[in-house]
Structure 1
Amino acid sequence: MVSRTGLYPGTFDPLTNGHLDIISRALKLVDTLYIGVAINRDKGPLFSLEQRVEMVEAETKALSDGSNSVIKVVPFDTLLMSFAEELKADIIIRGLRAVADFEYEFQMVGMNSFLNDEIETVFLMADPHHQAIASKLVKEIARLKGDITSFVPADVASRLNEKFGN
């Protein structure tokens, strides 16, 4: 039997229920799932890299415990395809919420295939309950003292509210 390795990259600032949905479904496709937490200084993350890695590890522990797959959370600050090659990933997992996501992702797949056409990209559609969830919007709602408990795990909500003094 062939072992499959997947990479699900993102900033995860913060990790949302939508991200967790994609992760749980990706575990059905691979034996090892690397969750690549991007440093991405250009986005000016609210949480430090260490905090984001810690949140992803904490929230995905139960998912890996209930699965035959292994989850490894790894920070990265390199070209995605170089990182995927380093991890010996067979596939890159990407979540799609809307048509606007597809346009951007379509361009990325084209560029990535020029860099390495051996690594496939697999798109997983967001569950309808999670399609509107975006980390950027969750942060905005938290900043304005709105209720974010439907969008993120409880510990993440607590950390967000603490960041904004709620």
Structure 2
Amino acid sequence: MTGAICPGSFDPVTNGHLDVIGRAAAQFDRVIVTVMINQNKRGLFTVDERIDMLRDATTDLPNVEVASWQGLLVDFARERGVGAIVKGLRGANDFDYELQMAQMNQKLSGVDTLFIATNPTYSYLSSSLVKEVATFGGDVTGMLPDEVHKRLLTRIAERAGQ
């Protein structure tokens, strides 16, 4: 059985993330979508909320599971018996950063990183940009799964009311 990890913050999950996850799921027997926990960052959604949104958004992918992890991703890969990390690349800037991480992960553990070029339809998408546009009233319809879109608008309204 071949397995891979698709890590990210997924705050929130976008259709670009789902494209990469779906394409990884077509290549591997098992894909663990991993919400990485960074105590230094305050997300719009809690880790548990992100896990719920990812589970809902990937119900049509039976070989995908969702988890969270704090620490070195290669330790998670070792713990789960997974030999590959899959990352989506939107452009050259992503590649420069991700290549360095991939080389470090390979050196630390022998875990390989495979890059999937983002579908051009989603190449401009990032969770940060979607949150920013939605916060200022921009229409982000079609950039997120419908349920995630609803949750995003609700959360932004809650924060605005504080």
TM-score (norm 2): 0.94
Q: Which of 14, 25, 40 is equivalent to 1:16?
A: 14
Aligned length: 158
Runs (4+) off by over 6 Å? none
Alignment of 1:1-166 (within 5 A): 3-64=1-62, 70-117=63-110, 119-165=111-157
Amino acid at match of 2:152: L
Structure 1 unmatched runs, 5+ = 65-69
Identity over aligned residues, as a percent? 38
Q: What is the distance in 1 between the residues matched to 2:58 and 2:70?
A: 21
- 1:67 corresponds in structure 2 to none
Q: What is the distance in 2 between the residues matched to 1:63 and 1:114?
A: 31
Q: CA deviation at 1:46?
A: 0.5
The residue matched to 1:89 in structure 2 has which SS? Answer: coil
Structure 2 unmatched runs, 5+ = none
Q: What is the distance in 1 between the residues matched to 2:26 and 2:146?
A: 25
TM-score (norm 1): 0.92
The residue matched to 1:129 in structure 2 has which SS? Answer: helix
Q: CA deviation at 1:63?
A: 2.8
